Structure 1
């Protein structure tokens, strides 16, 4: 083991990400940690992850605080060798009245540890080698040379400084920084929150209850709807907007997934000369085929999106120009070099709406999967994305995106291409429409397909050929699937 202090720099947790927000520390100064043990929870622009330590030893310095945005490549944690002297900085003395040590303080301390382990309430991604042991405090012990390890032992909670507020008739305290941050982010005054813990300790559930009560009380007021989240919506301060003359209802920091979406869409619009083609499609035969499969196997029939995904991968094999990437770089002579990079395979992304925003997980090597296998993988990725467990690789490796916005009840969309891909296929809702079949007017199940594509990688003929192939596959699914 190294005898020198080792500094772990925040790694790039995705494709070229430059920063991450520190959500919560999973260790403290003085903890003994092992290699690959999760040390912090961070939110990147793509996902929530647990960061593992590449070093074993004693935590010496934590470079950052919860809620702070850290740059990739900057120090995250310093680790000293086992046996080194590590001093734990005491908490600053609070301005409020101190409370004498009592048995209830020990109970409060245990509650604090429980609250901290519970984290922010978001489900985070496992990152690195699995194996969940908790960080453990090390007590002074003798070394072979007879010297005692000076690493601070478990803190004396009898001396723990508590941030306290007074509620008439009882003592109330908040000792978890996560609880304080939650209250601050949602504009909840701790003076008005009765603590349900021992000796009036305010727990996370008390803040959540207060947030729910505030929402119910303000529900009748007609103000613009604002989603509150762990990113922190700052409540109204009565400031008047200079341009409109209206009172500012709230200010929401743009970060995490929303920040990534904003940057990605802006870059797509500014760099990609996109064009759009669309076509109405009779999906009656596809719906009838799936209904028949569902009769035979009620639980194993693939969903409609899986069939369309199968048609898309087959179409991309025939029109590979839409499964590429356009790259601009500087050549050795200092000039500009442009390339179209083709891929030996298809990673099919699909748009999934989650509580944290729109994400695009991708089915890797989708061209190798049949409709049933695609259905299984789409369902799995949708579940992990909504639970916040999708890995950066699953969220950032797509080569083409399929967007089923029909689930939101709309027919079409002028989609923005998911940069750095070069095309996106959108599927609208399937509805009854009058349709001419064999010269006769009939009511059919019709949907609209919309293809947005980068005009630098192909012309309209290629885009139209791909779109027509997928449309024909939907209208004659039995014939196409038999050929796949």
Structure 2
């Protein structure tokens, strides 16, 4: 029998490495062609890597948490009869790796080993719990939560994030109760108990500068490291400037409410996104690229609109490609699909790259304004805050209106304040009078 080494494949989009999030096979498992063997996290997404070989896993090259370069050995597969299991199968699903393997659903032919039986126990092996999100599995692992012991509250019994968080909270409460009971039974003084509780655990690290105990060390990997690198580069290279305006969004809310409810109404962000795309056509310097040598600017014909999305894995920017070709409803539907995919970990690397301009709805975070960092190598980013009722002067009288704030951060090398203000005013005017704006689109 010969062992064949499968190396980490090219993950596309210029990605050169990936971190092993979770092994989906153990040494001794039998796998079929295209069966997933590992979940890996790149700088863009969590994906499953399928095996191109059928046979028995004889070696896994790297532990969970290890980072491998593209082309480095991932697994070794041996043809022939299956070997004895050395550990229980780990099940799970994530994103199918785009552009690799077949288009059919992967066949999972790994054997299942039931739990060891005690004398008189007539039960067979139980199925592993259904968990869709790799983020949920990672959260459970990091807190020592046994997924097999949970009852899912999601659709079809799916274990979701709130189930794991509830288990973590329950475990914390149990630990606290046990500690209190022990303290009572030992008849130690209140002062002694307090001192013991306040003292750091023996051998616990302390921060060298402050002297405080170290609560946790969180490595920057995958998406978070990529975001940190991009943000730092933007701050180093882009001489940015910010301009903002308060906008009366009352007519926008009324316009949306008046839309035919026999079809899904576009969300506020979807409507604003359509105005942004139109504004970029009128002010093309904000939808451009600075040439690498700094000698010129390349203005783009068309818009790939990025939407900043806060996720459990960090800040991601899914991209609506060719947004200029979509009507308001279609654009809204694509925004919803992509932001959902980004948050549940199913967005592909291709869906998280290639933007030409970014829209950031930081109002969903409960804030009114922000001076964002330009999403390098783009040259501008537009932010939108909360829409709140405020006193506003209309026709010489103070009346309640729904107000929001727009802020535009732009690369001052690419355009001057006049162009930036013109674009910002274009979007603001469209929000304040959406019917007139749509008549011009």
Structure 1 runs not aligned, ≥5 long: 92-108, 138-153, 159-177, 198-203, 221-234, 329-335
| TM-score, scaled to structure 1 | 0.70
SS in 1 for 2:231: helix
What does 1:82-97 align with in structure 2 at a 5 Å threshold?
82=79
Aligned equivalent of 1:364: 321
Which of 399, 415, 426 is the equivalent residue of 2:372? Answer: 415
Aligned equivalent of 2:181: none
- Check whether the contact 2:390–2:401 (CA below 8 A) recurs between aligned residues: yes
SS in 2 for 1:344: coil
What does 1:446-465 align with in structure 2 at a 5 Å threshold?
446-465=403-422
Is residue 2:18 matched to residue 1:20?
yes
Shift of 1:359: 1.6
What does 1:123-272 align with in structure 2 at a 5 Å threshold?
124-127=94-97, 128=100, 129-136=103-110, 185-186=142-143, 211-216=168-173, 238-272=204-238
C-alpha distance in structure 2 between counterparts of 1:300 and 1:245, whole Å = 56
Aligned equivalent of 1:428: 385
Shift of 1:217: 5.5
Shift of 1:23: 2.0
Shift of 1:273: 1.4
- Check whether the contact 1:27–1:135 (CA below 8 A) recurs between aligned residues: no
Identify if the C-alpha distance between structure 1 residues 241 and 393 changes in structure 2 by more than 3 Å, giving closer, same or farther: same
- Check whether the contact 1:350–1:403 (CA below 8 A) recurs between aligned residues: yes
Structure 2 runs not aligned, ≥5 long: 117-133, 151-158, 178-200
C-alpha distance in structure 2 between counterparts of 1:360 and 1:351, whole Å = 5
C-alpha distance in structure 1 between counterparts of 2:389 and 2:421, whole Å = 25
What does 1:50-61 align with in structure 2 at a 5 Å threshold?
50-55=48-53, 59-61=57-59
**CA displacement, residues 185-211 of structure 1 (integer Å, 9 cap, x when unaligned):** 4379xxxx9x979xxxxxx99998874
- Check whether the contact 1:236–1:249 (CA below 8 A) recurs between aligned residues: no
- Check whether the contact 2:27–2:85 (CA below 8 A) recurs between aligned residues: no
**CA displacement, residues 101-135 of structure 1 (integer Å, 9 cap, x when unaligned):** xxxxxxxx7xx33xx11x4xxx6212243413114
- Report how many residues are paired: 385
Which of 268, 273, 276 is the equivalent residue of 2:239? Answer: 273
C-alpha distance in structure 2 between counterparts of 1:338 and 1:75, whole Å = 42
Which of 353, 371, 377 is the equivalent residue of 2:334? Answer: 377
SS in 1 for 2:391: strand
Is residue 2:270 matched to residue 1:311?
no
What does 1:95-134 align with in structure 2 at a 5 Å threshold?
112-113=88-89, 116-117=90-91, 119=92, 124-127=94-97, 128=100, 129-134=103-108
C-alpha distance in structure 1 between counterparts of 2:289 and 2:164, whole Å = 47
- CA-atom RMSD in angstroms: 3.7
Shift of 1:400: 1.0
C-alpha distance in structure 2 between counterparts of 1:212 and 1:40, whole Å = 29
| TM-score, scaled to structure 2 | 0.76
Identify if the C-alpha distance between structure 1 residues 352 and 237 changes in structure 2 by more than 3 Å, giving closer, same or farther: farther
